[in-house]
Amino acid sequence: MFEKALIGGKRYWSLIGVLLGLIFIAFICYLWQLKVGLMLTGMSRDVSWGLYIAQFTYFVGVAAAAVMVVLPYYLHNYKAFERITILGEFMAVGAVIMCMLFIFVDLGKPMRVFNILLHPTFHSVIFWDMVVLSGYLLMNIITGWMVLQSEKNDAAPPTWVKTLIYIAIPWAPLIHTVTAFLYSGLPGRGYWLTAIMAPRFLSSAFSSGPAFLILLALMIKKYTKFDPGREQLQSLAKIVTYAIIVNLFFIACELFTVLYSNIPEHIQHIKYLFLGIDGYGKLILWMWASIIFMVLASILLIVPSFRKNERILSLACGLIIVGTWLDKGLGLISGGFIPNSFGHVVEYWPTAPELLITIGVWSTGLLIITILYKIAISVKEEIG
Amino acid sequence: MSPGTRGELILSNINKREFLKISGVLLFGLGSGALLEVLSPGEALNAEEYIADPEALKANSWGMVIDLKIVNEKIIARCIKQCHQIHNVPDIPDKKREIKWIWGELFKSVFPDKGFEYFNIRSDLGNKTIPVFCNHCKEPPCVRVCPTKATFKRPDGIVMMDMHRCIGCRFCMAACPYGSRSFNWMDPKPYINDKNMEYPAREKGVVEKCDFCVERIDKGLQPACVEVSEGSFHFGDLNNPESEVVKLLRTRYTIRRKPELGTVPQIYYLI
């Protein structure tokens, strides 16, 4: 089937070309980072994780969201999603690879990365995150590919594929839960030390992931002969609606507990993010934008006539992607480190090379998704 | 004792642990009976035996007691200078990227939760600069989160760093509630003014912190900061009721940083 990725129109090849160009630029920046060290980024002694780790966190969510199309089809026999499960699975593949690359570019000693395998440490959440992420990657590649191949050959997939899919379903929320545990198990970071971290991660993932999928599906509908289907998109839209409302509810729970209890160690981070401390407030605007975008999107999605309008639906999906990204891909990590252990505010902002490397990793994920989607759609077009 | 001693000590620890781990992985992965036979005798564990310096200071649980009545900015400056010189800690001008093993902070920043008790009645204390460094916690979160055991706890309580194993993920920095850890954002060597050839320098990309001067303890010497602290730092075995530090703790009211987090810090401040 892979040969289908090698035959494409002008639009396909220009997309591939642009992505490869961005990856090349990022690669050069990465070599530079490798040479001078992570001083090339905006990270500091006080904000020791930045954009890279935040992107990792965000895209674990996008990857986990594949379960939102797989589960209704395989567990509830919701036939409409048969057409789009492959899109969910292949999106997850691209997203997990992005996650792994983001971890890799964040390492101070990348050549020693295999020390994690050489000295497996069961009490470290990173070890478990590695296990669940690589497992999830394999499951999605294998099941996606096998199901597509049997579709092409007009035969039922082997039974072991179904078993693997049944394992992949609970595995999906697991990857994002373990990722949340990276943060929520640390004693000294008030912003992260909350039991609602994993549920919040899941709700934002299950809104942003399917929102991505809706936008991708609309693009596929526009540019290829394969129509993912109106019912499919509308069902996804309902999932997004529920998830974003639950997400807002979880945020409200977090804010209530932190603000009403009035415990300084917890309040100081929220204060920095939304109001600023001592004149420092690089993220204030972004954090408010995040909340406003998510609220606005839920209003647009709750009204059925809006949701059914594909233009308004794409706008709402865009708002959710940006809103949840600002919350998780920007505020979450900095917010946990600011103020620091001594109550001092040292701010963080990514540098240009850091941003270019980030764009390069996004492009790598997009490139993988593009190629896999090209194969899947070619097969779907063939069988009609 | 040669400067390599500390390296050897780490090495012998690692070899044992590495052996156990690799065997564990192999057993887990392959579960082969033949492998079991090969691995079961355990002679390999004794292949490399470390012989400690008879002069080495020994304890069940090392800890530090700092007398806030004596300590002052001048003493802290001297401690920093001494510690950073012998450990090849670079002097990086960019504050955001600096490396520090020991430094001074205002009492009210170190103990923000002690606001009510002290600042109103003792503004002199709140605004006093006091020394901070790694707390060598009994329940160190940094050790718990490290994915490679590059940071680990010695049986005598010292929380150590293996700079050759660290992958630079900085999870330990996120986990440390005391801001005790520094990362080499760049090559530190050009910023080391007065190189100490007896102690290794680090590369870019690894985390480092105070190690209670293990290289000195293992030779029978007190930590460097204690020696220049004019009697304001006291180092000893917190598990020994007869030790100087325990006796000192009995005499005065002491506080520790964020004990409510359950990390069991081993640095005590005498008020």
pLDDT tens-place values along chain B, 271 residues long: 344 444 444 444 555 556 555 555 544 544 444 444 444 444 444 445 567 788 888 888 999 999 999 999 999 999 999 999 999 999 999 999 999 999 999 998 999 887 655 666 667 788 899 999 999 999 999 999 999 999 999 999 999 999 999 999 999 999 999 999 999 999 999 999 889 999 999 999 999 999 999 999 999 999 999 999 999 999 999 999 999 999 999 999 999 999 999 999 999 999 8
Question: Does residue B195 lie in a domain region?
Answer: yes
Question: Does residue B51 lie in a domain region?
Answer: no
Q: Which of A339, A222, A220 is nearest to A272 (CA)?
A: A339
| A126 → chain B, closest CA residue | B147
B130 and B219 in a common domain: yes
Statement: residue A44 has pLDDT above 70: yes
B112 and B13 in a common domain: no
Structural domain boundaries, residue B252: 62-270
Contacts across the A-B interface (CB distance below 8 Å):
149
Q: Work out the minimum CA distance from A54 to partner chain B, whole angstroms.
A: 13
Q: Work out the minimum CA distance from B93 to partner chain A, whole angstroms.
A: 13
B99 and B41 in a common domain: no
B66 and B35 in a common domain: no
B90 and B36 in a common domain: no
B34 and B94 in a common domain: no
Question: Does residue B53 lie in a domain region?
Answer: no
Measure the CA–CA gap between A283 and A330, rounded to whole angstroms.
8
Question: Does residue B157 lie in a domain region?
Answer: yes
B138 and B29 in a common domain: no
| A334 → chain B, closest CA residue | B174
b/e burial code for range B89-126 (CB count within 10 A of at least 16 → b) = bbebeeebbbbbbbbbbebbbbbbebeeebbeeeeebb
Domain count, chain B: 2
B266 and B227 in a common domain: yes
A35 touches chain B (CB under 8 A): no
This prediction's pTM: 0.89
| A109 → chain B, closest CA residue | B167
Question: Does residue B257 lie in a domain region?
Answer: yes
Instruction: Tell me how crowded residue A180 is: count the other CB atoms within 10 A of its CB.
Output: 25
Q: What is the structure's pLDDT at A27?
A: 97
B73 and B29 in a common domain: no
B216 and B111 in a common domain: yes
Secondary structure E strands in chain B: 62-67, 102-106, 129-133, 151-153, 159-161, 182-183, 207-208, 233-237, 254-255, 267-270
Q: Work out the minimum CA distance from A142 to partner chain B, whole angstroms.
A: 21
Domain locations in chain A as residue ranges: 1-188+350-384, 189-197+240-340
The CATH number linked to B186 is 3.30.70.20
Question: Does residue B54 lie in a domain region?
Answer: no
| pLDDT (tens digit per residue) in A224-236 | 888 999 999 999 9
Beta carbons of B97 and A39 less than 8 Å apart? yes
Q: Work out the minimum CA distance from A184 to partner chain B, whole angstroms.
A: 10
Measure the CA–CA gap between A200 and A92, rounded to whole angstroms.
19
What residues of chain A lie within 8 A of the CB of B185, using their CB?
37-39, 43-45
B110 and B34 in a common domain: no
Q: Are A331 and A58 contacting, i.e. CB atoms less than 8 angstroms apart?
A: no
Question: Does residue B57 lie in a domain region?
Answer: no
Q: What is the structure's pLDDT at B7?
A: 44
B118 and B28 in a common domain: no
Q: Work out the minimum CA distance from A262 to partner chain B, whole angstroms.
A: 13
Optimal mutation site among A30, A34, A112, A183, interface B, most CBs of chain B within 10 A? A112
B-proximal residues of A, 80-109, CB under 8 Å:
103, 106-109
* ipTM, interface predicted TM-score of the complex: 0.91
A-proximal residues of B, 95-134, CB under 8 Å:
96-99, 105, 109-110, 112-113
